Amino acid sequence: MFVIAQLSDLHVNGTHRNRARIEAALHYVNSRAEGIDALLVTGDLTDHAAPEEMLEAHKLITSPLPTLITIGNHDARPSFNAVFRPEVDPTSPVNVALTVGDVTLLAVDSSLPGERRGFLDDVTVSWLRTELDNADGKVVVAFHHPPVTLGMPMMDSIMQSSPERLGDLVDAHPEIVALVCGHAHSGAVTTFRGRPLCLAPGVSSTLNLPFEGSAVVNRDQPAGVAFHLIDDDGRVITHFRAIPG
Ligand SMILES: [Fe+2]
Ligand SMILES: [Fe+2]
């Protein structure tokens, strides 16, 4: 069984509260690293994309596991690249690949500079197409913004725009066993183009469903982690864990 641990929406902002939640979530994963194959972080590493927040995120996200990180709408390519990938052009989208055994993780940058909604730009679509064409074995595609609505009105208004850009690639590639994302701060499972689409809970906070309260953000829920298990046949089983602070 192949195991991916996924964290999302860390929102490093210099506060002890968020730092403690991130440390607890990473400790939960890292202390079980022997049973896990890869760590995936799907964006909103920071609250405001400030250089000092990105430096703190870089310091906090430490793991013995092979780790793949992409960004969300609260991040920015220049501050991420300056800290995490100083060798690349600062404005490059954060499209990154990791192959472990017969599983390839492709994390693509769904952020749209200056906007809250998501979008896969031409560079990113082209990169993903090439990676999918060259991948052997099972593939998991990760990004920040969900390409479908979730029954969460605020989130649904800032989902991934033009989701057919991703959908056309999914249709053409049956080796994609699952798609995973974040952004909604809500552990959730649905489908996209007939494939499983799993959302990791937010580490920093949870967003309420309409019947859970009038406030959008719920800070009382604990941090969460998703574990995606992939069996030999490519069937994906997602488990969620709450991490008490
Ligand atoms: Fe977020
Ligand atoms: Fe987000």
Burial of 184 (0-12, 13-18, 19+ CB in 10 A): buried
Q: Which ligand is nearest to the CA of 185?
A: 1
For residue 55, give the H/E element and its range.
helix 51-60
Q: Which ligand is nearest to the CA of 111?
A: 2
Residue 178 contacts residue 197 (beta carbons within 8 Å):
yes
Q: pLDDT at position 120, please?
A: 98
Report the C-alpha gap between 198 and 161 in whole angstroms: 18
Q: pLDDT at position 221, please?
A: 96
> If you average pLDDT over residues 90-103, what whole number do you get?
97
Give the model's confidence band at 175: pLDDT under 50 very low, under 70 low, under 90 confident, else very high. very high
Residue 140 contacts residue 106 (beta carbons within 8 Å):
yes
- Distance from residue 244's CA to the centre of ligand 2 (Å): 22
- Distance from residue 45's CA to the centre of ligand 2 (Å): 9
Q: Please give the angle made by the CA atoms of 174, 178 and 183, to the nearest 5 degrees.
A: 135
What percent of the chain lies above the pLDDT cut of 90? 98
- Distance from residue 47's CA to the centre of ligand 2 (Å): 9
- Distance from residue 74's CA to the centre of ligand 2 (Å): 6
* CATH number of the domain bearing residue 238: 3.60.21.10
Q: pLDDT at position 238, please?
A: 98
Q: How many domains does the chain contain in total?
A: 1
What percent of the chain lies above the pLDDT cut of 70? 100
Quick check: 185 pLDDT over 90? yes
Quick check: 12 pLDDT over 80? yes
Structural domain containing residue 75: 2-243
> How does pLDDT run across 125-145, given as a tens digit for each residue?
999 999 999 999 999 999 999
> If you average pLDDT over residues 149-159, what whole number do you get?
97
Quick check: 245 pLDDT over 90? no
- Distance from residue 123's CA to the centre of ligand 1 (Å): 24
Q: pLDDT at position 69, please?
A: 98
Instruction: State the DSSP code for 111.
Output: B
Q: Which ligand is nearest to the CA of 200?
A: 1
Q: What is the mean pLDDT of the chain?
A: 97
- Distance from residue 195's CA to the centre of ligand 2 (Å): 22
pTM: 0.98
- Distance from residue 110's CA to the centre of ligand 2 (Å): 10
- Distance from residue 22's CA to the centre of ligand 1 (Å): 13
Higher-scoring residue by pLDDT: 244, 28: 28
> If you average pLDDT over residues 186-199, what whole number do you get?
98
> How does pLDDT run across 21-40, given as a tens digit for each residue?
999 999 999 999 999 999 99
* All residues with CB under 5 Å from ion ligand 2: 44, 72-73, 183
Residue 102 contacts residue 76 (beta carbons within 8 Å):
no
- Distance from residue 202's CA to the centre of ligand 1 (Å): 7
- Distance from residue 73's CA to the centre of ligand 2 (Å): 5
User: Residue 239 carries which side chain, given as an amino acid letter?
Assistant: H
Q: Which ligand is nearest to the CA of 8?
A: 1
Q: pLDDT at position 180, please?
A: 98
